[in-house]
Structure 1
Amino acid sequence: MNIALNTLSARAGAGISVFQTLMKALDEVDKTNKYFVFVSSKQNSIISSIPDSFEKVIFKHCPANPYFRVLWEQSILPFYIYKYKINVLYSVGNITSLLAPCNVVLFIENVNPFSKIIKNWTLKEKLRNKLIFYLGWLSALKASKIRFCSKRSMEIIKKIYKIDEKKCFLLRHGLDLSSIKPNIENRFPFNYILTVSVVAPHKNLEVLIKAFAILKSHNLYNGKLIVVGNTDCYQDYYNKLVNIINELKIQDDVIFSGAVNYKEIFDFYKNADCFVFPSLTETFGLPVIESLYFNVPVILSDGSKYKDLFIPFNEIARDYAVYFDPYSEHELAEKIIQAIKNKQEINSKKFIESYYNIKEVAKILVNEFNNLK
């Protein structure tokens, strides 16, 4: 069977790293099906990660602009699907090619178009989310099977789109455990609290910054806050955070690293005093399981308090994390101090190895592909 992985929407952050690890795992666990990777000539990090046994279909003229790219995928991509006799198309980012002449496995992984809590999107983002919402609905109708990576997102979106439950399956993300090899030495000469996130409105970073300012003003923490992630995607929000930092007079203690190579991220986890993920909207949260793998104290938004929000962390991290009200910087500050004071060897690494191994994820996905024969 010919299976195509459409990677064209994977342009930054976790979107790239997830495909990199998934392709490697599929190559290792599936020796029966033939894989094709649809990729733009500009996606160098994905191209370099494609296994030798997979056929690369590199598009030189696929637009980088997301609106034109979606149009291209709807009008041009079906011809390539037909040309390469694709039996199953695996599409991520909520949208597939509606005219694809084959079965489709759709991955609904972007919950921003469904979120009601983010009020400060720019007009451009509002239009983008509307487009994804309605094309996502049509894509869900087209799809043979629909993947979700958390039960929370599956239950909410299934109701919104009125998706047949038989179409849906839950398959969480995984880690390529063999590739996690951080440097032994601590790359920083200071203690630090860590978060790994694209700087975007739904990441709720202002609450983390305010909690950190409380710690500094009361001399409760002698270290810095490091935010690892791209700062260019939502410039207005980044500027807002910088203004908050300046007003709180903590600009010397907050570091925005910008985008970091995926392999370098593990150096940050290894020596962090704790990891905080304050998001109000997530489908999964890959940094959660990455930090747990390093036995770092992990502090997460409490989804049990807001069951109508896309906060899946309670099901992802279970009892291996500490949870806080994502609207309370004071509670977060208390939880950070507790986590650092009570820091001890945690067994979360074994938990991650058991439940989030990318090879096991790949096996389940291959089984879903094969069921469409």
Structure 2
Amino acid sequence: MKKKKIVVDARMINDSGIGTYLKNVIPYLIPKYDLVFLGTPKDLHKYENKLRNNIVEFTANIYSFAEQIYLPLIIPKCDIFWSPHINVPLFPIRAKKQVTTIHDINLLAFNNNFSILKKMYAKLLYKNAVKKSHQIITVSNFSKSEILKYLKVDEERINVIYGGVNKLFFKKSTLNFELPKNYLLYVGNVKPHKNLISLLKSYNKLPLNIKKVFSLVVIGKKEGFITPDKKVFNFINKNNLINNVIFTGYVEDQYLPDIYQKAKMFIFPSLYEGFGLPILEAMASKTLVLSSNLTSLPEVSLDNALYFNPLDTEELKDLIVKEIYSDNSIKIELAYNHSKKFTWQKSAEEHINIFEKVI
């Protein structure tokens, strides 16, 4: 029987978040479907041989006008076009059906730094995504509730599928990423809703003897965003934290387990998350998790994280100090077992069920 053809917009495969999602779901789809990727051979070299060069080269920037002009022209005839983000083609395409993953409604909920034009374009993309999609995948019940709150869409078309934790995080890392011996860890970017500024303020309030011992390591991109949090770098410079706060920039996936495993604790101060995968990665690495108590994070972590109000920098400072001197071995073991419940295989199987329903 001929395999059904699914075209995947894979241009974000090397980004954090959506990239991690794609890299972990795609391998389970390859045996099942005739996959075609939009992207570049350079970005998709892992899959090029398996897919017999089924790559349509496409380099238009996400959210660009060029993207919208050329997508209808380069997407081949297919059974399903799957977009892992909201930048769904505005104009008709040669796909019988469309499936879109909407991770969160961040661009509508946190758009104070946007111009009026950007706000209008973001709203257009979201509305177009739900209108064109035969089925919508989202990553938490929180995100589902936000989609229903901000957009007019039939609830029956929204499917909640949790992400998973890569098996690498459950193994003792044999790789070594050069970092200070003692550090607190944050993984994420510097967009305003990630609220890195609150973590920096809390870190700056720590007693001097703790700051001398523990650096703050920030893993992730710090440049190239439409709405970067400029306050972050101004605060670091103003408070002479350049030697305390280490920005690694992009880190290849294979080094992440080593970085998580060696951290004293993982701190996630986000104001808005659709899922919050780094929290589960830290748990799988047997690292204590301090988490914001907002949006999807309690849904995903349940009682396996230590929660704080992400806008109360004094509270977070006190929590860090307390946990540096505490024995959290039981909490860490329970969190480790909790993280095992989230597998990419299960996530991929649920994606396949949606694709089969649509086909």
Q: TM-score, normalising length from structure 2?
A: 0.89
Aligned-residue sequence identity (percent) comes to 23
Q: Which runs of 5+ in 1 are unaligned?
A: 304-310
Residue 233, structure 1, aligned to residue 230, structure 2: no
Q: Can you list the C-alpha shifts for 1:67-115, whole angstroms capped at 9, x where unaligned?
A: 134314543134x1x2xxx112211112323523311111012422221
Q: Can you list the C-alpha shifts for 1:248-281, whole angstroms capped at 9, x where unaligned?
A: 2322111111111122122210100000111112
Residue matched to 1:155 = 145
Residue matched to 1:308 = none
Residue matched to 2:42 = 44
CA distance in 2, matches of 1:163, 1:296: 39
CA distance 1:300–1:142, change in 2 (3 Å): same
CA distance 1:171–1:321, change in 2 (3 Å): same
| Shift of residue 368, structure 1, vs aligned partner | 1.0
Matches within 5 A, 1:55-134: 55-60=52-57, 62-64=59-61, 66-78=63-75, 80=76, 82=77, 86-98=78-90, 99-100=92-93, 101-116=95-110, 119=112, 121=113, 123=115, 127-134=117-124
Residue 353, structure 1, aligned to residue 353, structure 2: no
CA distance in 1, matches of 2:212, 2:296: 29
Range 259-268 or range 313-322, more displaced: 259-268
Q: Which runs of 5+ in 2 are unaligned?
A: none
Range 238-247 or range 86-95, more displaced: 238-247
| Shift of residue 285, structure 1, vs aligned partner | 1.7
Residue 371, structure 1, aligned to residue 336, structure 2: no
The answer as to whether partners of 1:200 and 1:237 remain within 8 angstroms in 2 is yes
| Shift of residue 157, structure 1, vs aligned partner | 1.3
CA distance 1:62–1:237, change in 2 (3 Å): closer
CA distance 1:35–1:351, change in 2 (3 Å): farther
CA distance in 2, matches of 1:168, 1:59: 29
CA distance in 2, matches of 1:9, 1:253: 31
Residue matched to 1:335 = 319
SS at match of 1:132: helix
| Shift of residue 222, structure 1, vs aligned partner | 2.2
Residue matched to 1:5 = 8
| Shift of residue 223, structure 1, vs aligned partner | 0.9
The answer as to whether partners of 1:273 and 1:296 remain within 8 angstroms in 2 is yes
Q: Can you list the C-alpha shifts for 1:296-337, whole angstroms capped at 9, x where unaligned?
A: 11111112xxxxxxx210001111101111111111111212
Q: 1:173 aligns with which of 151, 156, 163?
A: 163
Range 175-184 or range 8-17, more displaced: 175-184
Q: Can you list the C-alpha shifts for 1:218-268, whole angstroms capped at 9, x where unaligned?
A: 757721000111111248845431221222232211111111112212221
Letter in 1 for 2:343: N
CA distance 1:369–1:280, change in 2 (3 Å): same
The answer as to whether partners of 1:199 and 1:233 remain within 8 angstroms in 2 is no
Range 220-229 or range 60-69, more displaced: 60-69
CA distance in 2, matches of 1:170, 1:231: 30
CA distance in 1, matches of 2:169, 2:96: 34
Residue matched to 1:211 = 202
SS at match of 2:147: helix
Q: TM-score, normalising length from structure 1?
A: 0.85
* CA RMSD in angstroms, aligned pairs only: 2.5
